[in-house]
């Protein structure tokens, strides 16, 4: 309550003499909270509260400037010392909510096509040096969350020596393939919960961790989502549509769709291992259990992909040893 009182005072100081109504809007997996301030004329702003001893708001402000080609919120005020921001309100209907309200496949396809158009626009503007590099050390730290937090903490089964050998036989190959991809701007959490339904292009949120990295990463984030699972046929269709649009836009995607799809799937292995580990850490370290029920979806993604590729057989064996073998086959490449 003390933070909320401080936030209200900060807002009141910015808008003296104006009667503002402040209500909770959303919370992130990290330590950020968002509130919606309503002005007497009905207009609204979003207020970010990020405790400065837990989070630095500077990366958000920097990434917002780099990714200004997207429909990202304007920053009206930024108090880095207190951890407060006053932002443009992009509405309260996420793509996730829109997809849940409209179950027609055509709706999902239309929204995903709009999302990949914005993704391509961002990638076309890519340049090295503007954002941190998604280098091998970062990719490795992310996948290492899986044995640490899923195997050792969630399952209470730290990897044995033999299981560590299975891990070491596959993970370097996954990272090699990610690093061999063309490098572009990467939002790093380009999911339907972070896209807003607006009158024009999709609004894009939660971009503070943006990096310069593999070109398929955001496409994987969008289509192999944590909170909604798309039909395999729709995923393949959108991947092909993205690939065609990206080639026309001059992006350096693989010349062959089969090679591109392989890049897409292998990039997914890295992300799925990371997110499964993060969701387990959120519960065991931070006491946030609402993400834990989504872990089985990522295990299913992982087993389906690693079973398709002979080089990933050791990782598939490890996953089966840890979680069993209940998975249906999908397309094979």
DSSP for 189-241, please give it.
Answer: ---GGGEE--SSSPEE---TT-EEEETTHHHHHHHS-SS----HHHHHHHHHH
Give mean pLDDT, residues 186-212: 95
Asked if pLDDT for residue 85 goes beyond 60, the answer is: yes
CATH architecture of 2-88: 2-Layer Sandwich (3.30)
Task: Quote the pLDDT of residue 294.
Answer: 93
Task: Quote the pLDDT of residue 332.
Answer: 36
Q: Choose the CATH number for 95-323 among 3.90.1200.10, 2.120.10.30, 3.90.550.10, 3.90.245.10.
A: 3.90.1200.10
CATH topology match: 2-88 vs 95-323? no
What is the tens place of the pLDDT at every residue in 292-324? 999 999 999 999 999 999 999 999 999 999 998
**What is the rounded distance in angstroms from the CA atom of residue 199 to the CA atom of residue 93?**
11
Q: Are 242 and 117 in contact (CB under 8 A)?
A: no
| pLDDT band at residue 106 under the 50/70/90 scheme | confident
Q: Estimate to the nearest angstrom the gap between the alpha carbon of 143 and the chain centroid.
A: 15
Task: Return the domain boundaries, the chain.
Answer: 2-88, 95-323
- CA–CA distances in Å: residue 4 to residues 49, 206, 328: 8, 21, 48
């Amino acid at each position: 309550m003390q933070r909320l009182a401080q936030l209200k005072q900060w807002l009141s100081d910015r808008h003296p003499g104006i009667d503002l109504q402040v209500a909770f809007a959303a919370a992130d997996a990290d330590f950020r909270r968002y509130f919606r301030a309503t002005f007497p004329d009905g207009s609204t702003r979003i207020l970010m509260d990020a405790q400065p001893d837990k989070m630095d708001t500077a990366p958000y402000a920097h990434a917002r400037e780099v990714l200004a080609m997207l429909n990202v919120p304007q920053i009206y005020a930024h108090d880095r010392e207190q951890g407060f921001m006053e932002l443009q309100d992009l509405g309260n209907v996420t793509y996730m909510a829109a997809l849940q309200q409209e179950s027609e496949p055509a709706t999902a396809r239309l929204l995903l096509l709009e999302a990949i158009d914005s993704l391509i626009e961002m990638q076309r503007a890519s340049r090295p040096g503007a954002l941190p590099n998604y280098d091998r050390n970062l990719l490795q730290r992310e996948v290492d969350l899986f044995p640490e937090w899923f195997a050792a903490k969630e399952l209470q089964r730290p990897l044995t020596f033999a299981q560590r050998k299975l891990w070491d036989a596959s993970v370097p190959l996954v990272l090699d393939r990610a690093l061999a991809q063309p490098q572009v701007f990467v939002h790093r959490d380009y999911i339907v919960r972070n896209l807003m339904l607006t009158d024009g292009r999709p609004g894009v949120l939660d971009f503070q961790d943006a990096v310069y990295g593999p070109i398929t990463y955001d496409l994987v984030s969008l289509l192999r989502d944590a909170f909604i699972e798309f039909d395999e046929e729709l995923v393949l269709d959108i991947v092909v549509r993205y690939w065609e649009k990206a080639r026309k836009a001059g992006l350096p995607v693989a010349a062959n769709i089969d090679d591109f799809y392989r890049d897409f799937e292998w990039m997914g292995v890295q992300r799925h291992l990371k997110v499964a580990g993060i969701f387990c850490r959120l519960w065991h370290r931070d006491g946030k259990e609402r993400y834990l029920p989504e872990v089985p979806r990522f295990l299913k993604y992982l087993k389906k992909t690693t079973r398709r590729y002979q080089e990933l057989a050791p990782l598939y064996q490890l996953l089966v040893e840890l979680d069993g073998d209940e998975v249906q086959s999908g397309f094979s490449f």
